[in-house]
Amino acid sequence: MGKDELIKNVLYVMNIIYAVFGLVTAATGIWFFVQLTEFVALRNSNHYLLDYRIYWPQVAPWLFILLGLFIIMVAFCGWCGANRESRGMLGIYGLFLILIVVGQLIAATLIFVYVDGEDTDRFIKDTVYDGYYNSQSNPDVFKSFGRIERKLRCCGANDARDYRSWRNDLPLTCCLDSYYRATCEFTDKEANERLGCAKVASVYTKIISSSVAGASLLISLLEICGIVLAWKLFHSLREVEHYITERKEGETEC
């Protein structure tokens, strides 16, 4: 197997990895957006009619989605460029890979800087608090908030004591143990030990964002290798084209 064939085969494998990573990143962004929409839908919209601020958790899902789709397109371009031995496609592929690496470094830096900021905590907590208080007067919101409690294994906005002021018992969504058995009818221990949904949601938001940012930094190292290999194949094809052109202009092979 020649050197060029080896580089092509390695690029095939690397672009498959890029495409899978892009797909996972986009899917994570869509999932993150759906979960965030579920939280935001609990709020009393009248409280936010004049709030035009854009918070970091609202931006992060779109960054993940756009970055994932762009990586998939660039991976396809690189795969086709290596398969057709097209210098033009390889050149575009290398340029776009550089842009992706720079974009990932910037996005990861912004996530690590802002994900632990007060604005993120304030947005998540205000959303959960507003949803919780809205659930006291809106049965539909109460059911939706219960689904979040069941999903995140949390209870109330701060903790189980939030329900003591307006209920004689705790909702079943606070009382499901690890086997999905309701325990409040026997004891409130399971519910009382749970954290409030504001705290749990804030921690999960930071974990998801930081995990994707860390994965982006790791994959960027592999993308740098792809840039180097694309340049080597690009340069090798230029030498072949130059050799063929010189042969056509002059002598014939004996």
Q: Are 49 and 112 in contact (CB under 8 A)?
A: no
Rounded Cα distance between 176 and 191, Å, is: 8
Distance of CA 145 to the CA centre of its chain: 24
Q: Are 155 and 194 in contact (CB under 8 A)?
A: yes
Rounded Cα distance between 4 and 238, Å, is: 12
| Residue 70 in this model has a pLDDT that exceeds 70 | yes
Distance of CA 207 to the CA centre of its chain: 11
Query: pTM of this prediction?
Result: 0.78
Q: What's the whole-number mean pLDDT along residues 69-90?
A: 88
241 or 94, greater pLDDT: 94
Q: Which of 91, 89, 62, 65 is nearest to 76 (CA)?
A: 89
Q: Which of 62-76, 78-92, 164-178 has the lowest mean pLDDT?
A: 164-178
Distant-in-sequence, close-in-space partners of 41: CB < 8 Å, separation ≥ 6: 144
CA distances from 78 to 8, 10, 215 (A): 10, 11, 21
Rounded Cα distance between 144 and 128, Å, is: 12
Q: Any idea of the CA torsion for 214, 220, 222, 227, to the nearest 10 degrees?
A: 180
Structural domain boundaries of the chain?
3-119+209-249
Q: Which of 11-20, 154-163, 179-188, 243-252 has the lowest mean pLDDT?
A: 243-252
In tens, the pLDDT along 159-204 reads 988 988 888 888 888 876 555 556 566 566 777 788 899 999 988 8
Distance of CA 25 to the CA centre of its chain: 5
Rounded Cα distance between 111 and 59, Å, is: 10
CA distances from 130 to 79, 125, 157, 242, 249 (A): 49, 8, 9, 69, 78
Q: Which of 29, 99, 95 is nearest to 68 (CA)?
A: 29
pLDDT the model gives residue 20: 93
Rounded Cα distance between 76 and 217, Å, is: 21
Measure the N-to-C terminal CA separation of the chain; round to a whole number of Å: 26
Q: How much of the chain exceeds pLDDT 90, in percent?
A: 25
Distant-in-sequence, close-in-space partners of 36: CB < 8 Å, separation ≥ 6: 57, 58, 61
Distance of CA 199 to the CA centre of its chain: 21
pLDDT the model gives residue 95: 92
pLDDT the model gives residue 150: 87
At 96, list the tokens.
Answer: 């776009």
